[in-house]
Amino acid sequence: MKKLSVIILLIVFLGSCNKTPEKAFFYNQTQCADKWGYGQTDEETIDKLRTYLTSQQIVVTNLAITYPVGNLIICDACSCPTGKRFKVTVPEEDELKLKAEGFN
């Protein structure tokens, strides 16, 4: 009987977990115009971006650098893309804040 009670409690507890809906957004890294700055490595740059977004009260659930394939033009001007793209996943309620930072 005790085991059955524990199993029922676990089922109720696990069934009551509500996962907040999340959305992924992208941002093409620029040569030198990103508000959060740049690191010596991709990991340092990711840390800087995470710190910046957190300071803007944006909850980051996942953050990665991707390398898009396609017609991405790369140049040396400060606002030109580097060829790297940030993929940031946030709760849906932070969508407008992230879009205000230039993510889409």
Read off the pTM: 0.79
Query: DSSP state, 101?
Result: T
Q: What is the pLDDT of residues 92-103, one digit of tens each?
A: 999 999 999 999
User: Looking at the domain assignment, is residue 9 inside a domain?
Assistant: no
CA–CA distances in Å: residue 102 to residues 29, 41, 42, 61, 72? 11, 22, 20, 18, 17
Return the half-sphere exposure (C-beta side, CA atoms, 13 A cut-off) of residue 41.
3
pLDDT in tens, 44-97: 999 999 999 999 999 999 999 999 887 777 789 999 999 999 999 999 999 999
Q: Considering the domain boundaries, does residue 66 fall inside one?
A: yes
28: domain CATH number is 3.30.70
Q: Is 4 domain-assigned?
A: no
Q: Quote the number of domains for the chain.
A: 1
